[in-house]
Each structure stands twice: as structure tokens, then as C-alpha cells.
Structure 1
Amino acid sequence: MTHRQIVSGVCNVNSLTAVSKPRRLLAATLLSLTIAGTAIVPGTAFAQDATYSADEVSKHFKQLKTRSLKPTGATRALCIGTRDECNPNGAKAEGGQVAVKPENAEGQTSETASTDTLAVDPETKAIDAGFNLLVTFERASARLSPSARANLKEFAKGIADPELASAVFVIEGHTDGIGSLNYNQRLSEDRAQAVTEYLVSLGVGRNRLKTVGYGETRPKVADVNNEANRRVESKLVFE
């Protein structure tokens, strides 16, 4: 082997080393970013924090379960029927729109009506004191957003509480008033089903979930076109 060949070989080795070193540094940097949970690929969803905790979920439903069994005076604290039917005085005070409930800072609706009577839906047997799952979707679709998935993971953990082991929940889909009645009805059903399927994928028994869509017929706030009416709620089924 000539001197020139030897020198050429050394140069080639040095060149490979010079090229591979930045690549190794880049790979190490990417690995570090991945471990830190940073999204570094375009189109990759960022990690999302849940809006509420599993403890808040379990506390809500355990308190509701206790209230549903507590008598008030000579009668039980339950009424089979709509909220307006079960609380006519409240319906009158609210202009006949008792189903519209204000939200608190956490986006959850008030559990306290003008009386301590809990209404039970005659069709689904759900107690009308829902937990707003704060599930968001891509516009006009039933695809769950990353924040929705984060919230639903906490919900699944919350209802895994041993005291709720036998509890059944109704997953309700709701829309605002934008669009036709038929379109909104289908969209609400698709969104409720998307939530149910995701919860099942997280280990929640399918027999513990009932899915229903109400379209725009049960607004949370009086302005039917308000985005607050686009929601998915979960309600405890009265045993």
C-alpha cells in the first residue's frame, strides 16, 4: 500500500468520524427531547394535562350516590321525570328552563337545585346531576382531541373506585344549535359513542356504559348556539 493510499484511508476515516459525530449528537438531543416529553415531529400532538382529577370524579359520583339514597322528610329525594316536572317551582323561577345550569370556574355545573329533589330521567334512569367530561372534538367531527383523551383517562380512573364498582353511567352527547336538527342529532350520537369506545379501550366495562345523543335539544345555557352547549356529560344511573 502506498503512502498516498494510507493517507487517503486516514482521511476517509476522519471524514466518517466528522460526519458521524454531529449525527450522534443530534440523535442524543432527539432522545433527550423525547424523554422530556417534548414533541419534535411536525404534526405530533403535545402532551396534555387533564382538567380534573380521578379523585374529583369519584367524589362527585359517590356523593351523588349517597344523596340518591337519603330521604328528605316523608319522601325520598328522587323524582322520576324531567327536571321541570320534578321541580316546577324552580322551572317557574328560571322561566321554564331549569335544565340550564351555570358553570363554576372549573367548568362543572352546580349540583344544587332550588330544592333537594333529584330528578331521574324516565328513559335512561340517569340522575340529572351530570359530570361534564369537558371533552372537546375537532370541529364538526367526533374525533377526540388530546385534551379530551387526558380528561377521559382521569374519568376512567375515577369510576374504577371500589365504591363505584357496580355503578352504571350514561354518556350523553350534546351539540349547539348550529346546523340542522338531524345533523346535530347524528353528531351528538357519534361523539357520545366515541367517548364510550375510548373508555372501553381504557378498561371500563362496556356493560357499565350507556350511550345516548340529544343533539341540540338539551342546552346547558339559554343561547342554543353558544359553544358551551357542545359537550359530553356522564350521569349516574339510579339503581
Structure 2
Amino acid sequence: GNLGASRGICVGTEEECKSKAEKNEAPPQKAGLDMMINFALDSAQLDQTARAELDEFAKALKDNRLSTFSFVVEGHTDATGTDSYNQGLSQRRAQSVAAFLEANGVESARLEAIGLGKSHPRVANPYDPVNRRVEMRIRTE
């Protein structure tokens, strides 16, 4: 998929942002701010790769330019297992990522961990391991 799709982020008043958007001058968001971590089957454990990526992500979040952003930490599962089990597993995945970021100095108030179960597969095959993931998105509200 297109992981680097840009979403314009505007800093300023609503009016300034509207006029910028109309002139199409809003700078594209840096690719890679939204992030994805993958998990083993039936696991909420962070592997070495995930820890290394989250360590970098935590450093980035502590940068002054990003310090105003809050993130939704979304846990997901593949289609193996019941809805209720997957709901719990996806929540544990989101919480393990949020807890790691908090342990690395990101304020808990900036992170909202939610579990979405198997309802939002990333790829067409609901059993694909790619669906066992946590995605971090900038909270836009």
C-alpha cells in the first residue's frame, strides 16, 4: 500500500490554515510519522525489531517540533480466533506499545491505546501476518 501518503499539517489559526489549504501551500507531512509495528501470532510481545523502531520513534516524539502531537496507538489482529479474544489481544498490543513509549519518556497523556480487533485488516487476506500489528497515527481531532 501507499504508506507515505502525505497529510498536510497546518500550524496556525483555523483561518490561516484554510487560506493555506486553498492556496495549496501546506507542507506535506513528513513520511514515517505514522508508524506500524508487527507482532507474532497470538502475541503482544515486542520483538527486537519492534523495540528498536519504537526507541527511534520515542526519540522523535520528544523532539520539540513533535512535542505538541498526540497519537492514537491502534492495536489490530488477524482473523485467527474469536472476536472477543481478538479485541482483548489487540488492546494488549496497543498497550504494550504505549507502555514502551512511556518507559522511553513519552508522556502517557500523548498516547491513546485502543484495540480494534480484527475489524480493520491491512491487506485483503484476513489471516495475513501483516494484520497482526499496532499502528500509530497522529491524533487529528
Same-fold call, TM cutoff 0.5: yes
2:77–2:86 contact (8 Å) kept in structure 1:
yes
User: Match for 1:71: what amino acid?
Assistant: A
Task: State the shift of 1:166 in Å.
Answer: 1.3
Distance 1:64 1:206 in 2: 25
Q: 1:163 maps to what in 2?
A: 65
1:132–1:231 contact (8 Å) kept in structure 2:
no
1:84-163 equivalence runs, <5 A:
131-137=34-40, 139-163=41-65
Relative distance call for 1:72 and 1:184 in structure 2 (3 A) is farther
Relative distance call for 1:161 and 1:130 in structure 2 (3 A) is closer
Secondary structure of 2:37's match?
coil
Q: 2:136 maps to what in 1?
A: 234
- Higher-RCO chain (CA-CA 8 Å, sequence separation at least 6): 2
Larger radius of gyration: 1
Q: 1:65 maps to what in 2?
A: 9
Q: Structure 2: which 5+ residue stretches go unaligned? A: 12-16, 24-30
2:94 to 187, 192, 198: 192
What does the per-residue CA deviation read over 1:120-169, in whole Å, with 9 as the maximum and x for residues that have no partner? xxxxxxxxx972333434x3121211111111001101112211111110
2:34–2:137 contact (8 Å) kept in structure 1:
yes
2:61–2:67 contact (8 Å) kept in structure 1:
yes
Q: Structure 1: which 5+ residue stretches go unaligned? A: 1-59, 74-110, 112-128
How many matched pairs? 123
User: Match for 2:37: what amino acid?
Assistant: L
More helix by share: 1
- Tell me the TM-score normalised to structure 2 length: 0.76
Please, what is the CA RMSD of the aligned residues? 2.6
- Tell me the TM-score normalised to structure 1 length: 0.47
Secondary structure of 2:87's match?
helix
Percent same amino acid at aligned positions? 38
